[in-house]
């Protein structure tokens, strides 16, 4: 509900001195903690030592830390954040006017940096801890390319080597992303590739595959664990990533408080859960502590509907099955979305933390079709100026739907959504839409059943 004491500017920027000094760990407020990662060989929870073979030490601690509510942001990371943060919380005056809605719409815009998205928030943290551990470099996968770009930027800044396995379909459709990564000094390999054993195996089994995040993860993990001085880093799904991304939610909360705005609804797009988890964390925390009953909505594509049609079960995080098992809402690690699906949000599973919050009713989920998402994106771009990423546009679509409901009911809700990034590198997808060539895709029940059959028999 509205509660305005001061005129609200188009863009709320926090002062440097108001920026969060700590990340917020929502797990500390969860009664039902996210299920632990399991060793696929033993079925037992992964130990810190086992995880340390893949991940940096400090990040393993953060991954396993279900207790500390706040974790200090190291000064070096805080300084890097100052180069592109705080991000603005934008009041969508023009969108409200166009929709003629009594709702107040706000979006937290994470696109004002070269990675084009929120991914840089965790990239700099992970690169920092790798550097601090004295490592030579890190490996990772990237889908649409935002994460790879973000990690390249962070590694370049810290002078750390960076090897990126890029999902083949994106590597081919998004050559500009590849060049941005190269400009920041990263080595970029299309995945699946012949540079790893798991890549060779996947190519032998599926010669025409356009790749998936799951494949690329397997390759990046193998590349890190088979070399001295390297570790693997991941841009989504993990608890540590949600922790770093809580900077989004913390800034949002501070900005709202600064102007006495009471959020009613928080909306975020959900692929692996990094942006969503980060944005909603402080609000989910308040809800878990019984302080306020926010409506929290995760939006996913109908073509990759892990929350709305998936199973809550232990699954492999990667196609090659080299990673630990995670309990999550999943479509099965064998699920590969149709290539007609543009942009990110292609991952078969969902962050364990977000999955548990969903299981416990802290958040709800909606699935939307691709063409309605692009229509919402273009309508938004024309009045708000910003050309959104396809991923972010899932949240726009639902925010607009909710604002139109308010128009019917007359409710003056405060709707907050996450605008995770820009669509500058997604122009082929926009072109397909502009030319009327974009289609929708919804997997059949039979397809999902076949994919569920790939779930491991655990628990």
Query: What are the residues binding a copy of itself (CB under 8 A)?
Result: 9-11, 13, 15-16, 82-84, 94, 112-114, 116, 153, 156-157, 175-176, 179-180, 182-185, 378, 381-387, 422, 424-425, 427-428, 430-431, 434
Nearer to a copy of itself, 13 or 441 (CB): 13
Token pair of 161 as six digits: 């080597």
Cα(401)–Cα(211) distance, integer angstroms? 33
Q: Among 42, 363, 153, 412, which residue's Cα sits nearest to residue 164?
A: 153
Q: Left if phi > 0, otherwise alpha if psi is -120 to 50, otherwise beta: which for 229? A: left
The minimum distance between CB 393 and a copy of itself, in angstroms, equals: 12
CA distance 23 to 317: 25
Q: How far is the CB of 81 from a copy of itself (least distance, A)?
A: 9
Rank residues 161 and 448 by Cβ distance to a copy of itself and give the closer one: 161
Nearer to a copy of itself, 187 or 295 (CB): 187
Shortest distance in whole angstroms from residue 248 CB to a copy of itself: 17
Question: How many whole angstroms separate alpha carbon 363 and alpha carbon 288?
Answer: 11
Nearer CB in complex with a copy of itself: 56/377: 377
Give residue for tokens 């088979």.
226
* Residue from 417, 420, 399, 419 nearest 101 by CA: 399
- Beta pairing class for 89-91 and 414-419: unpaired
CB of 230 to a copy of itself, least distance (A): 21
Q: How far is the CB of 317 from a copy of itself (least distance, A)?
A: 30
Which residue lies nearer to a copy of itself by CB, 32 or 112?
112
At its nearest, how many Å lie between a copy of itself and the CB of residue 11? 7
Q: Smallest distance, Å, CB 112 to a copy of itself?
A: 5
Closest to a copy of itself by CB, 115 vs 240, is 115
Measured in whole angstroms, how far is the alpha carbon of residue 401 from the centre of its chain?
22
DSSP secondary structure code for residue 233 in this structure = -
Choose between 355 and 392: whose C-beta lies nearer to a copy of itself: 392
CB of 424 to a copy of itself, least distance (A): 5
Is residue 209 a contact partner of residue 316, using CB atoms and an 8 Å limit?
A: no
Give 172 or 205: the residue with its C-beta nearer to a copy of itself: 172
Sign of CA dihedral 378, 383, 385, 390: negative
State how far the Cα of 169 lies from the Cα of 418, in Å rounded to an integer.
26
Helix (H, G, I), strand (E, B) or coil at 301: strand
CA distance 268 to 416: 9
């Amino acid at each position: 509900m509205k509660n305005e004491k001061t005129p609200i500017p188009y863009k709320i920027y926090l002062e440097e001195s108001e920026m969060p000094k700590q990340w917020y760990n929502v797990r500390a407020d969860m009664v039902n903690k996210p299920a632990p990662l399991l060793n696929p060989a033993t079925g037992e929870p992964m130990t810190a030592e086992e995880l340390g073979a893949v991940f940096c030490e400090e990040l393993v601690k953060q991954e396993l830390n279900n207790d500390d509510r706040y974790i200090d942001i190291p000064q070096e990371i805080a300084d890097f954040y100052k180069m592109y943060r705080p991000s603005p919380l934008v009041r969508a005056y023009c969108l409200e006017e166009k929709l003629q809605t009594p709702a107040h719409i706000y979006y937290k815009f994470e696109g004002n940096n070269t990675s084009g998205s929120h991914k840089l928030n965790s990239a700099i943290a992970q690169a920092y801890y790798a550097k601090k551990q004295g490592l030579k470099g890190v490996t990772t996968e990237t889908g649409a390319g935002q994460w790879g770009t973000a990690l390249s930027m962070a590694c370049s800044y810290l002078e750390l080597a960076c090897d990126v396995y890029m999902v083949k379909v994106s590597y081919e459709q998004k050559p500009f992303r590849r060049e941005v990564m190269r400009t920041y000094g990263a080595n970029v390999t299309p995945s699946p590739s012949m540079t790893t054993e798991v890549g060779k195996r996947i190519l032998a089994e599926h010669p025409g595959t356009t790749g998936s995040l799951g494949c690329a993860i397997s390759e990046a993990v193998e590349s890190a664990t088979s070399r001295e001085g390297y570790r693997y880093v991941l841009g989504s799904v993990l608890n540590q990533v949600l922790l770093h991304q809580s900077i989004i939610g913390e800034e949002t909360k501070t900005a709202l408080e600064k102007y006495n705005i009471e959020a009613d609804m928080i909306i975020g797009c959900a692929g692996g859960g990094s942006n969503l988890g980060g944005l909603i964390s402080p609000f989910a925390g308040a809800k878990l502590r019984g302080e306020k009953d926010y409506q929290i909505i995760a939006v996913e594509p109908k073509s990759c509907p892990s929350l709305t049609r998936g199973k809550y079960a232990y699954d492999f995080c990667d196609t090659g099955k080299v990673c630990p098992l995670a309990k999550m809402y999943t479509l099965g690690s064998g699920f590969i979305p149709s290539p007609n699906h543009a942009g990110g949000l292609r991952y078969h599973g969902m962050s364990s933390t977000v999955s548990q919050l969903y299981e416990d009713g802290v958040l709800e989920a909606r699935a939307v079709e691709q063409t309605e998402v692009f229509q919402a994106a273009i309508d938004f771009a024309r009045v708000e100026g910003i050309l959104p990423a396809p991923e972010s546009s899932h949240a726009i679509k639902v925010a607009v739907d909710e604002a139109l409901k308010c128009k019917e009911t007359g409710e003056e809700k405060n709707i907050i959504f996450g605008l995770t990034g820009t669509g500058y590198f997604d122009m082929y997808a926009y072109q397909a839409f502009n030319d009327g060539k974009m289609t929708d895709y919804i997997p059949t029940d039979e397809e999902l059943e076949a994919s569920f059959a790939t779930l491991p028999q655990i628990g």
